[in-house]
Structure 1
Amino acid sequence: MLNISTSQTLPQVPKLITPLPGKRASELINRDNAVTSPSYTRDYPLVVARGQGCMIEDVDGNVFLDMTAGIAVTATGHCHPQVVEAIQYQSTQLVHMSGTDFYYAPMVDLAEKLAEKAPFPTPVTGSRAKVFFTNSGAESTECAIKLARYYTGRSRLIAFLGAFHGRTYGAMSLTGSKRVQRQGFGPLVPGVTHIPYGTHAGLDDLEEKLFTSIVPPDEVAAIMVEPIQGEGGYLVPEDGFLERIRSICDRYGILMIVDEVQAGMGRTGKLFAIEHWGIMPDMITLAKGIASGLPLGAVLSRPELMTWPPGSHATTFGGNPIACAAGKVTLDLLEGGLMENATQRGEELLLGLTQLSQRFDRLSLPRGKGLMIGIDLLDREGNLDPVLRNYVLNEAFYRGLLLLGCGKAAIRFCPPLVISGEQIEVALKILAEILEEVVRR
């Protein structure tokens, strides 16, 4: 039994009291290794006991500043009291009744709020969007693929190199991030073509070469794109890139599906990242930050697209009443100030990282929007350096800072949206200390 108080407030800066990993952490890691899948990826030996806001406490009482948010999931911070209260109340009323077979208020409440906020055209009558609830981002991708093929009657799909849409078979077929995510699992879903992300040159090739040779555009159901590429490196596309995808889709009758699983739910300072470009897609996939840590995802579509009949697509747990209750409070908190905080703290983080890149030539210029910011580690010749990136990730952990990698040699900064300016300064200070040691070596 762990002797950890659940009521004690955690420090708001790192506090390490044992060597890492501590005794209890080492014991649990050994137990985990004996019984869990080796396919899991653990960058460093963190064994979490509890979290508050932007802080994580491990089983030995060490406290860390979390710049990962459980991979961009805990948008409102760990265990936000209003989210916890909503979960506790709903769990005393209704834990589960499948929303694909029955009705309950939490699911309708959240669907109405999401439909109202969807960046689709405002209809003369009726709803702005239709919503299908899922358990995860991968399941949202699967739903979007099926709906696009059903609505258009077409089979082909366009995705991007570096993209990550999940690890189930349809989602994996669209994913173009890392070889290990696809290797040994073929054959994959046919009809998917990958092109370079974020560049007009890639779109030139699509229209001038692929559409005229091996990918007839009138057979393409959808183009699926991340407004800011996540797993691929926190990459922001070239100006006009997303607008041009919209234009291509309009010209050839193709649906534009925007994957907002990581970039959405306020992370970039807007509810949906695509809003930064003023573009209206045809479908949006959501998950991660939608319910502050509970398993929930969603597909939003223009209402005229969801014409499939009852039984054609369903889910047992998607739209679970407890998860939807958490999602409704999450949306309220995002609109109640957390998106504004993401913008302000993101500007501070971007400025601080820019200053570090000017001070250390092993660091690229940062990129991103709001609290979705990436920066690359470089070798002495200015090339991407994944070995140095991994070293920095591990060194940060042993100094009380939790970071994650992405792309070939990038570090992603995706903290809870409740992060303070002081905590941004702490993270930058720890990163600077590590880079100073790298330079001295």
Structure 2
Amino acid sequence: MKSMAKNSIKTLAAASALFLFIQTPSAYANSLSDLKDEKRQIESKKDGLDSSIKNKTNAITANEDKQQKLLDQIQTLNAEIDKTNSNIKNVLAEIQSTNKEIKSLEDSIAELLRKIEERDLLLEDRARAIQAGGTVSYLDVLLSSNSFVDFIDRFSAVNALLEADRQIIQDQKEDKQKLEEQKQVLEGKRQKLEDKKAELDRLKASLDGQKAEKNKLIDQLEKEQEKLKSEKVLLEKEYSEALEISDELQQKIIDEQKRLAEVARQQEAKRKADAAAAAKANAAAKAAAPTKASNSGNSGGGSSSTVTAPQSNGTWIKPTNGRLTSPYGWRNIGAGSEFHYGVDLANGTGTPIWAAADGVVSYAAPLSSYGNVVIVTHSIDGQIYTTVYAHLNSFNVSVGTEVSQGQQIATMGSTGRVTGPHLHFEVHIGAWQGQAVGSVNPLKYIPL
């Protein structure tokens, strides 16, 4: 009976062990699958943003091409308008010249009218004289001559009178005809000029209308261009981690780091003194203790489920567990690029964030597009360094907190401008004075 019970217990234990063996890899597989899905989602969102930025850039370029074509058309219209204005100016000059000719012609017409009026008066006087003296013909004048000489004189006088009358009548007729012709020339020239000016005015009005329409289209395209650029800037901001903070806040952070730099130096001095004392005590203890085999290597219980910081093989440690998704340096954003002043390590929300080295917290609060941020000031062999931990879900330290290497200071999140949960990590030589000042590639110090 006891043997059966023991066999049952063994069977149950084996089954339990088998279950745990199967269950643990399965859970790990599920976790890995979730991480892969999360990575795909982040990459998909980044690709979507990148595609949207490129589309906006293409739309802006197409808009600029449209504007350029319209501007070219407006330039052509301007040339035509200038030419039309020049023609109008020439026509106006012709009209002015014609008006002078018309004035001169009107003076000539007035002179003709005066001559015609004088001739009319002369002819009227001649008619009245003849009427008053009776009907005396030129033949009666010739026959009443006293001698041949008198006849010749009278004949010459009669011929002169007849010729004068004929000339007056001929001049009168020619002047009246000339007057009518000049009037017709005047009216014809004036009408042609007025027609030409009206045609040019219509052409100018048409060109001005076309130009106004083109200008209206340009205005619409410029408004659309501003909208496209604004939308592109928003997309780039969503993708970018560029900081936008006030000078006052930045100076406040700098001043706080200056104040705590001495604390970091004192912390380093104490750490070195403690390490030296511990080494001395260990050496003394080893010298005094008897030599014996140690069997403590496997004395501990099962492994803890708590995620612990990696062991240091030097001055720095990796600040979190995660995939390197964006290295230090220039990176593309749509059709443009920006400088990335840190490295991005992606993992799930809540992943522990550890202090990369011993130091003192000099900033712990939200900071522009970085979201929640912790800044730690370090003193290493007398040299001040600064590490920045951004996009945190939460943090459990405050300004002035002294932290040890590997101590959890925050958890990973997606606060600020991000495309998914990750840690943005920076290393600066000296105090942090903005993204660019003293920025160095973290890979030079920390194996990621």
TM-score when normalising by structure 2: 0.18
Structure with greater proportional helix content: 2
Determine which structure has more spread, i.e. the larger CA radius of gyration: 2
TM-score when normalising by structure 1: 0.19
